[in-house]
Amino acid sequence: MYEIAVIGGDGIGPEVVREGLKVLAAAAEMRGFSYRVEEYPYGTEHYLETGVILPEGTLDEFRQMDAIYIGAIGDPRAEVGLIERGIIGAVRWDLDLYVNLRPIKLYSERFCPLKGKKPEDVDMVFVRENTEDAYAGMHGFVHKGTPLEVSTQTMVFSRPAVERVIRYAFELARKRPRRQLTLIDKANAVRAHDLWTRAFAEIGEEYPDVTRDHAYIDAACMWMVKNPEWFDVAVTTNLFGDIITDLGAMVQGGMGIAASANIHPGRVSMFEPIHGSAPKYKDQNKANPLAAISAVQMMLDFLGEEEAAALVERAVAALLTGDRIRSLGAGVHGTDEIGNMVVEEMRRLADE
């Protein structure tokens, strides 16, 4: 029995999560596993009503569970980033979910904005470090609000955190047919990244079967658009990983389908779409739930329900390679309509 914590969150979060849970229910029924969902009401609305972002003890409750599933957090009615850091950030950092896994896979040429790029050209996984860098929270202001104001935010990299995420990336690369791992950094300008350069070279010695590659983040952005086929697995810092995976999401068809996993191997981990809360689409049945559905697929894989995960992936792939989905953008299909299509495809595939 899997115990799953669910936070629908803000904006379109609850709607896309509803479709994800529909797919989870169908997968459980078809593959014969059981689970229990505990829904948590946290998000901006809850904060504005109660003043509480994440009540004390919540993270301890999460530690007792098997997985956490989050829709989206963010709402302009609260201070910039406050609720995002207080919920998504707290879960990532306090539960030490040090790997942010972000696959970028194109299923059909017609969803790719790049001319001439085919599914075989876009199939990569980004391993984003998820606990440090500019996200570590070391920042401050002096003379705030005066003409002489200074603000700083320190990029933090510790040897253990860099090593563990690089090791995870090598292990992942080893399991994929191409066995290639690209380190993406900015060591030419940000000399602190020399720690990454050295750790990558040292750990790489333990993986002679994995081809090592390197790109500076600026060039990597160029390659993502020009030659996405060059990437297999890539490992990068928290901030660069945040930025380049939005670019990657577009290359695979848009924010509507990009999913992610926040993982600490062997511990409770968190699964979420990469997209934000898109408040303008809230409660309009316009948001594409495929990212949230693919996050469920990643959760099933993490839980060890590989067959169920594969069923969800095949259903999504069948939909994206077929002609039922006219566009992945918001408002073209209903949120529930796409959720239902995925479940129908799952039933069809299971009957085959």
Residues that bind ligand IPM (CB under 6 A): 74, 84, 88, 242, 274
Asked whether position 129 contacts Mn ion by CB under 5 A, the answer is no
* CB-based closest residue to Mn ion: 242
Q: Which does 84 bind (CB under 5 to 8 A by kind): ligand IPM, Mn ion, none?
A: ligand IPM
Closest distance between ligand IPM and the C-beta of residue 74, in Å? 6
Helix/strand/coil for 215: strand
- The count of other CB atoms within 10 Å of the CB of residue 163 is 16
DSSP readout, 33-74? --EEEEEE--SHHHHHHHS-SS-TTHHHHHHTSSEEEEEE--
* Token couple for 96: 């030490």
255 and 246 Cβ atoms separated by less than 8 Å: yes
Q: How far is the CB of 84 from ligand IPM (least distance, A)?
A: 4
Residue 25 has a CB neighbour count (10 Å cut-off) of: 13
Q: Which is nearer to ligand IPM, 84 or 345 (CB)?
A: 84
# residues contacting Mn ion (CB under 5 A):
1
- In the window 245-304, what residues touch Mn ion (CB under 5 A)? none
| Residues in CB range of 220: below 8 A, 6 or more apart | 182, 184, 234, 236, 240, 244
Select 84 or 301, whichever has its Cβ closest to ligand IPM: 84
Residue 88 interacting partner from Mn ion, ligand IPM, none (CB closer than 5 to 8 Å by kind): ligand IPM
210 CB neighbour count, 10 Å cutoff: 22
Under rule CB under 5 A, residue 84 binds Mn ion: no
Q: Nearest distance from residue 348's CB to ligand IPM, in Å?
A: 33
Known catalytic residue at 123 = no
* Half-sphere exposure in the Cβ direction for 300 (13 Å, CA): 27
- Residue number with CB closer to ligand IPM (88 or 292): 88
Closest approach of ligand IPM to the CB of residue 71, in Å: 12
* Side-chain half-sphere exposure of 288, counting CA atoms within 13 A: 22
Q: Which two three-digit tokens encode residue 197?
A: 């350069």
Could you tell me how many helices (H) and strands (E) the chain has, helices first? 12, 12
Picking from 151, 217, 143, 149, the residue whose alpha carbon sits closest to that of residue 183 is 217
Q: Out of Mn ion, ligand IPM, none, which partner does residue 15 contact, by CB within 5 to 8 A per kind?
A: none
Is 246 among the residues known to form the active site?
yes
**Catalytic one of 118, 144, 194, 218:** 218
Angstrom distance (rounded) from CA 213 to CA 144: 43
What 8-state DSSP symbol labels residue 328? S
218 given a catalytic annotation: yes
From the candidates 10, 121, 232, 242, which is the catalytic residue?
Answer: 242
Shorter beta-carbon distance to Mn ion: residue 88 or 112? 88
Residue 244 exposure: Cα atoms within 13 Å on the Cβ side: 35
Point out the catalytic residue in the list 135, 168, 207, 216: 135
The backbone region for 49, taken as left when phi is positive above 0, alpha when psi lies in -120 to 50, beta otherwise, is alpha
State yes or no: residue 242 binds Mn ion (CB under 5 A). Answer: yes
Q: Which of 94, 213, 246, 336 is catalytic?
A: 246
Closest approach of Cβ 160 to Mn ion, in Å?
24
Q: Which is nearer to ligand IPM, 185 or 242 (CB)?
A: 242
CB 32, min distance to ligand IPM, A: 33
User: How far is it, in rounded angstroms, from Cα 265 to Cα 93?
Assistant: 14
Q: Which stretch binds Mn ion (CB under 5 A): 168-176, 234-242, 293-301, 323-331?
A: 234-242
Nearer to Mn ion by Cβ, of 14 and 248: the residue is 248
Which of residues 235 and 315 has its CB atom nearest to ligand IPM in the complex?
Answer: 235
186 carries an active-site annotation: yes
Report in angstroms how near the CB of residue 224 gets to Mn ion at its nearest: 15
Catalytic residue positions, numbered: 135, 186, 218, 242, 246
**Residues forming the site for Mn ion (CB under 5 A):** 242
